[in-house]
Amino acid sequence: MPNLPLEGIRIIDFTVVIAGPAATAKLADMGAEVIRVETIQEIGAGGRVNSAKITKEQVQHAPIQRRSYPDGDPGERPWNRGANFNAHSRNKYSMTVDLHKPEGMEILSELVAVSDLVIENHATDFMERRGISYDWLTDIKKDMIMIRMPGYGTTGPNAYWRSFGISAEAQAGRALLNGYTDMAASEIPWRNPADPVHGATAAFAAIVALHYRNRTGKGQLIDMGLSENILGFVGPAFLDYQMNGRVAENLGNRHAYGAPHGCYQSNGEDRWVNITVLNDEEWTGFCNALGNPEWTQEDRFSSAALRLENQDPLDQHVAQWAAQHDHYEIMHLLQKHGVPAGPVMDVADCYNDPHLQERGYFEKVEHPEAGTHLYPGMFFQFSETPLSIVRHTPLLGEHNEYVYKELLGKSDTEYAALEKAGHIGMDYAPHVN
């Protein structure tokens, strides 16, 4: 198998929840050796699972938690079976160490000395309280690269605020642009792209920094605020306010300058289709696809501007037509006439989608404790160095022997002593709840 693009790069992973793990997953997919630094002494929020010792009985009373484990069963070691963690930690390694102890920090310093990059996305003060600063890292390895991904960056009035993707989106002004036009702010769906987008941007930044280091021999600190990263998604709204003094409002499924544009119910139980018409050429294709019924020839729909002014009656006609057809049928018909359209698919539809199957997007992964399942695979491919999931999500501490003995050169005696001291293990310590 050819060498992967980032083979030979070693990354220390202190990430949690989604944004950070998504970044390191992409880098691991491209061949970097990503080592998760974990601990058996405490369960970090948003790490493997928020409730690492949850029982099957507790899960049965929490529908959302049931969906987090295979067959709704957390098993004896739920920290190895959590779906969200396993989805973002493929192709990685895991080692454990207690950084509250001086010898733990010494072990970390030894790992830093043989690594290239550190990535973390905790609250700003998390790393500071542990003494893991960029200065500390570069004292050990001068060309070290560090990426920090807190909610609001590491400087400024909000630097020490706690944040998740949903709060960062609200802070960036994007949350109020979600949902339907008659939806109150309290009803905005808890779905946001901020975390995965932040992860992809961080992976891009890591590659750029590695390229810079190859040219100059210098590492650098990268400060990435989650809220700032999502601001680029609302650029037109900011421009409209700056130029026209207008505060953008929720458009629901509609578009600022194209119509018809929306999600329409099609034939079948809870089946929907998305249709987008942004210009006259697409409108002509849309009309031809429908057989040019009389209503499409009405003057009030004769131009893009008029269609925008008359979206309510236009949507009524489109909805009546869509309700008579299958959502896949609509997609194929409109696409044949050059009109962007696609079915609204649920998870089962995606797994069985012939397009994704032919492209081999979903990959079967065998996990020793979570079982064998299909996982979302690579969202891009290289022609010369094809990517795949070559390593299941690591069990807690699964690669302790590799890290301690092979990378850090610890003897069997030293390893046993560190294990006795509480640094090394694959189960959380008895006192951890």
- What lies within 8 Å, CB to CB, of 156 at 6+ separation is none
Can you tell me the mean pLDDT for 329-357?
Answer: 95
User: Could you tell me the pLDDT band of residue 110, with boundaries at 50, 70 and 90?
Assistant: very high
Encoded tokens for 86 = 């396993």
User: Could you tell me the pLDDT band of residue 2, with boundaries at 50, 70 and 90?
Assistant: low
Q: Does residue 150 carry a pLDDT above 90? A: yes
Contacts 24+ apart (CB under 8 A), 292-299: 293/321
Q: Does residue 44 carry a pLDDT above 80? A: no
pLDDT: is 153 or 189 the higher one? 153
CA–CA separation, 94 vs 294, rounded Å?
65
pLDDT of residue 147: 98
Q: What is the CATH number of domain 10-232+360-420?
A: 3.40.50.10540
Q: Does residue 64 carry a pLDDT above 90? A: no
CA–CA separation, 42 vs 396, rounded Å?
12
**C-beta of residue 119 within 8 angstroms of C-beta of residue 14:** yes
pLDDT of residue 50: 62
Judged by average pLDDT, the poorest of 38-42, 145-149, 301-305, 421-425 is 38-42
Give the whole-number percent of the chain exceeding pLDDT 70.
97
pLDDT of residue 349: 93
Cis peptide bond upstream of 5, omega within 30: no
User: Could you tell me the pLDDT band of residue 289, with boundaries at 50, 70 and 90?
Assistant: very high
Average pLDDT of the chain is: 91
Can you tell me the mean pLDDT for 334-348?
Answer: 96
Q: Does residue 1 carry a pLDDT above 60? A: no
**Start-end of H helices in 323-364:** 327-336, 347-351, 354-358
User: Could you tell me the pLDDT band of residue 429, with boundaries at 50, 70 and 90?
Assistant: confident
Kind plus residue range of the DSSP H or E element containing 125:
helix 124-129
- What lies within 8 Å, CB to CB, of 48 at 6+ separation is 38, 79, 80, 82, 85, 396
pLDDT tens digits, one per residue of 177-228: 777 777 777 777 666 788 889 999 999 999 999 999 999 999 999 999 988 8
Is the domain spanning 261-351 CATH 3.30.1540.10? The answer is yes
pLDDT of residue 412: 97
pLDDT of residue 176: 75
User: Could you tell me the pLDDT band of residue 46, with boundaries at 50, 70 and 90?
Assistant: low
Can you tell me the mean pLDDT for 232-250?
Answer: 85
pLDDT of residue 229: 85
Domain-wise residue ranges, the chain: 10-232+360-420, 261-351
pLDDT of residue 53: 74
Q: Does residue 172 carry a pLDDT above 90? A: no
E strands, 74-135, in order? 93-96, 117-120
User: Could you tell me the pLDDT band of residue 311, with boundaries at 50, 70 and 90?
Assistant: very high
pLDDT of residue 167: 79
pLDDT of residue 364: 94
Q: What is the reported pTM?
A: 0.91
Count CB neighbours of 115 within 10 A: 21
User: Could you tell me the pLDDT band of residue 47, with boundaries at 50, 70 and 90?
Assistant: low
Q: Does residue 45 carry a pLDDT above 60? A: no
pLDDT of residue 236: 83
The dihedral sign for the CA sequence 344, 346, 347, 348: negative
pLDDT of residue 58: 82
